[in-house]
A and B are shown apart, each in its own frame.
Chain A
Amino acid sequence: MNLCYAIPGKVTEIDGEIGVVDFGNGVRREVVLAMVSAKPGDYVLVHAGYAIKVLNEEEAKKTLELYSQILNLVEGR
């Protein structure tokens, strides 16, 4: 397992501190959600069985917008 990597997955159920996270391709796991405030439907980064961060969808879009800005920018200098 990767000790500095976390995998994004979607929270499908929550029961107290434990949630079920769907990682796609049929992979679902119980995950401890105590360190984040996640609700069903949120994407969380999961590291060693614990969610460490709720992913920010707006920011994910903004970064892509930043890409297009850069790509349309003339780097003349």
Chain B
Amino acid sequence: MDQDLKQILRHYRNPRLARKILEKIHEIAKDLQVVRMMHVCGTHEWTITHWGIRTLLPENVEVRAGPGCPVCITPASDIDSAIKLALDGVNVLTYGDMSRAKGSRMISLEDCGARGGKVGIVYSFMDAVKLARSNPNQEYVFLGAGFETTAPIVAYSVLKGLPENLKIISSHRYVPPAVGLLAESEDLAIDAFINPGHASTISGMKAYKLYFDEVRKPMVFAGFEPLDVLLAIYMILRQIRDRSPKMENEYRRAVTWDGNVDAQKNLREVFDFDDGYWRGVAIVPKSAMNFKEKFSKVDARKIYGLASGKGDHFPLNARCAEVIKGLIDPPECPLYMKRCTPATPIGPTMVGVEGTCRIWAQHKIVGVKCRSGVCKIDSESSPRTKGMPEGG
């Protein structure tokens, strides 16, 4: 190994390279109409916000945050189900920020823990397996949320065999059909997609081919360093200029056409891909990973008779659903940074560490120029006048 990979990756934050690529972006955008692209990954939103990429782009190039936060799109009814079990004496385990997302009655697993519900936080599904194994007399249920990045972990462990006292609520969702649906939305009118980096290491680019063929809009798979995102934006603009939409791979060090074939095999063996609800978005065809019949003995939905996730439930006056879909920016919600803050999160988009509201709030963004024109921004303007709906 002549040069350690860590050294190579350092170049992906090189400011000189970033400036140059921005020059190219501006050069190419000069001759284009408005270009509206969307990403569907909370970590892309973090990169874009953290490095201030939106403020560096030409006026006519817009990057919108789509539904890329697993915690945000997990149906409220699944959170309700987990809460009910925890209050009935079952040990409910889940990931940290999932435990803070509120269900339909605006109670989270964390709140229910404070009221005597049995709730535990794990970093990894591996920890849930260890816990169940070392306490064989206790009943455990794992609330499994996340995309195809997370789901193979559960599938693999199920195939290997779980301890008898561990069951799973699978709220896992598959991203490619959601991109297909967003690409067809006339409300959103998205011209191109920055496709997810890490979810695509599993699914491969091939999983998006069907949807690309349908809409013929540029799709570039991108990594998470600032230069990755800038290069992806440049690649999209180049495709638009040349009127030759394609699926292109910027994140070649991680994403391949075929993806992680073993992980895909495990997923298809363990789960059916059913039509499933994404909180705030819609029912997305073939996107809900539900346990196949032959794995009923680990399926908490079957064992405890839990409903499958349905129904929009958001706090009164909150505009989480529109934020999740990418229709509005966080400052357009009347609750943003008033009642709903990172310290006192109300909606799921402020709870999830990958939620758009949470990321914007952590970077103290109170306004930007938004497509709707509601919050024509400048960072000086008072947050109190931002995004207030008429009469709100």
**Which A residues are closer than 8 A to B by beta carbons?**
1-6, 8, 10, 24, 32, 34-36, 41, 43, 45, 47-50, 52-53, 55-57, 59-64, 66-67, 70-71, 75, 77
Whether B278 is near chain A, meaning CB under 8 Å from some CB there, is: no
Q: Are B24 and A32 in contact (CB under 8 A)?
A: no
Interface of A is mostly: mixed
Q: Are A47 and B149 in contact (CB under 8 A)?
A: yes
Whether B6 is near chain A, meaning CB under 8 Å from some CB there, is: yes
Q: Are A48 and B123 in contact (CB under 8 A)?
A: yes
Known: A4-B70, A4-B354, A32-B126. A52 touches B41 (CB 8 A): no
What's the minimum C-beta distance from A75 to chain B, rounded to whole angstroms? 5
Q: State the CA gap A63–B3 with chains docked (Å).
A: 15
Offer 20 A-B interface pairs, CB within 8 angstroms, sorted by A.
A1-B96, A2-B43, A3-B145, A3-B354, A4-B354, A8-B9, A35-B152, A35-B260, A41-B1, A48-B95, A48-B125, A50-B124, A52-B201, A53-B198, A57-B1, A59-B253, A60-B252, A64-B8, A70-B24, A75-B27
Chain A residues with CB under 8 Å of B68's CB are 4
Whether B174 is near chain A, meaning CB under 8 Å from some CB there, is: no
Q: Are B198 and A6 in contact (CB under 8 A)?
A: yes
Q: State the CA gap A49–B362 with chains docked (Å).
A: 26
Chain A residues with CB under 8 Å of B198's CB are 4-6, 45, 47, 52-53
Chain A residues with CB under 8 Å of B199's CB are 4
Whether B49 is near chain A, meaning CB under 8 Å from some CB there, is: no
Residue of A nearest to B121 (CB): A1
> Contact string, B181-203, partner A, CB cutoff 8 A, digits 1/0?
00000000000000010110110
Q: Are B262 and A5 in contact (CB under 8 A)?
A: no
What's the minimum C-beta distance from A60 to chain B, rounded to whole angstroms? 4
Chain B residues with CB under 8 Å of A8's CB are 5, 9
Known: A2-B354, A71-B24. 5 other contacts (CB 8 A): A4-B68, A4-B146, A4-B198, A53-B260, A57-B5
Q: Are A3 and B252 in contact (CB under 8 A)?
A: no
Q: Are B24 and A45 in contact (CB under 8 A)?
A: no
Q: Are A1 and B353 in contact (CB under 8 A)?
A: yes
Q: Which of B108-126 contact A (CB under 8 A)?
A: 123-126
> Contact string, B214-255, partner A, CB cutoff 8 A, digits 1/0?
000000000010010001001000000100000000111110
Q: State the CA gap A50–B260 with chains docked (Å).
A: 13
Chain B residues with CB under 8 Å of A4's CB are 41-43, 68-70, 146-147, 149, 196, 198-199, 354
> Contact string, B10-34, partner A, CB cutoff 8 A, digits 1/0?
0110000100110010011001000
